[in-house]
Amino acid sequence: MDTDVLDTLKLALDGGGVTVPESGTVLFLRAEPGPVLPLLPRDRLTCQQAFKPPHDALKAAGYTLLAPGTETFEPAELTLILPPRQKDEARGLYARAMLAAPEGGVVLACLPNTLGAKTAEKTLGEIAGETESLSKNKCRAFWARKDLSVFNTALAEAWVAADQPQPVAGGAMWSRPGLFSWDRVDAGSELLAECIPEDIKGMGADLGAGQGYLTKEVLTHCPKISHMDLYEAEHRAIACATQTLEAFGNVTISWADVARDVPNNRYDFILMNPPFHVGRADAAGLGQTFIQAASRALKPHGSLYMVANRHLPYEATVAACFKQYEIIEDSGGYKVIRADRPKRPK
């Protein structure tokens, strides 16, 4: 999360217009560590986070956390939200927060201006009625008080209904708003699936598995695969991958941080279309972390198959982690890399 967002959210609570209640529950949705937390009463604070790395950081710091799949909340006098980028997912989160809030409860959110903060405030106002806001650090904190006389319950419930797992791409997979390429098969993943040889065999893993599309494709077309382990950090994807792969018995799906939670020296092959951005900016370091994790997780003669945008600088990391590699496909703005025999630390 952008530190400017957290600083602006803190400002709203620290004399900026929103008062932390002296009693009652405080709820923090999509919570992250940062300067906001010390302003909140730890004994009355409950956090929710579906993304594994910040969830684990909050847990390690001793905060009370809801189960990661929780989407129905108890009433809270104050609810803070760090909204997601995707419109339908964000609407669902505003709606769930406002539906759960008691009369007079406040829902407070914050976004960078570049991610449509002004529009987001208007979105909250569509169900809540009147909103207030402050702007600082090129961000906007905005909030609304629950007033049942103006609250649009029907619209809020419609937003929640739209933010649910659903079949997409002609049934090729199950997905939901906010997941990567949520309403269509990603072209990079499709290209990678086409490049996997049908005689691939043994124990495989899908790192950053998302909705499970890659695993479904290889299990459909590669009969010698004995088992697939899927690792995904966004808990909202887990139910979707489970539905996508319902017909297959030889899969295990784990909510996991790929950087820390994948076992070493276990797999004959690994597939991945690694994440490559934070917000709207490229973050090649994420993909490099995935490559390093894959090299540790593979058996000595194992192989990695990965797809990436052509311009992302992954080759040096692949060369540092594997004894040999080649680009086996380069088309449509994507490159598919096969890397063999991971290097072991000396």
Residue 283 confidence (pLDDT): 61
Residue 279 confidence (pLDDT): 45
Q: Which two tokens stand for residue 289?
A: 């972390």
- Are 34 and 13 in contact by the 8 Å Cβ rule? The answer is no
**Do 3-162 and 166-342 share a fold?**
yes
- Are 313 and 284 in contact by the 8 Å Cβ rule? The answer is yes
Question: Helix (H, G, I), strand (E, B), or coil: what is residue 72?
Answer: coil
Helices 153-162 and 87-100: crossing angle in degrees, nearest 10, is: 130
Residue 284 confidence (pLDDT): 67
- Output phi, psi for 314, to 5 deg: -100, -15
Q: Which two tokens stand for residue 319?
A: 């060369």
Q: What angle is formed at CA 157 by the lines to CA 89 and CA 76, rounded to 5 degrees?
A: 80
- Are 236 and 166 in contact by the 8 Å Cβ rule? The answer is no
Query: Considering only the top CATH level, what class is 3-162?
Result: alpha beta
- Are 246 and 171 in contact by the 8 Å Cβ rule? The answer is no
- CA–CA distance, 2 with 95 (Å, rounded to integer): 24
- Report pTM: 0.94
Closest by Cα among 187, 217, 212, 213 to 200 = 217
Question: Helix (H, G, I), strand (E, B), or coil: what is residue 259?
Answer: helix
Residue 285 confidence (pLDDT): 85
Q: Which two tokens stand for residue 74?
A: 């108890």
Closest by Cα among 125, 170, 174 to 152 = 125
What is the CATH code for 166-342?
3.40.50.150
Please enumerate in sequence order all residues whose Cβ is within 8 A of that of 154, keeping only pairs 6 or more positions apart, or say none.
none
Walk along the chain (346 residues) and give the pLDDT tens digit of each residue. 678 999 999 999 998 999 999 999 999 999 999 999 999 999 999 999 999 999 999 999 999 999 999 999 999 999 999 999 999 999 999 999 999 999 999 999 999 999 999 999 999 999 999 999 999 999 999 999 999 999 999 999 999 999 999 999 999 999 999 999 999 999 999 999 999 999 999 999 999 999 999 999 999 999 999 999 999 999 999 999 999 999 999 999 999 999 999 999 999 999 999 987 544 344 668 899 999 999 999 999 999 999 999 999 899 999 999 999 999 999 999 999 999 999 987 7
45-48 and 26-29 strand pairing: parallel
Closest by Cα among 109, 31, 105 to 66 = 31
Residue 280 confidence (pLDDT): 38
Q: How many helices (H) and strands (E) does the chain have?
A: 11, 17
202-207 and 173-175 strand pairing: unpaired
**Ranges of each domain in the chain:** 3-162, 166-342
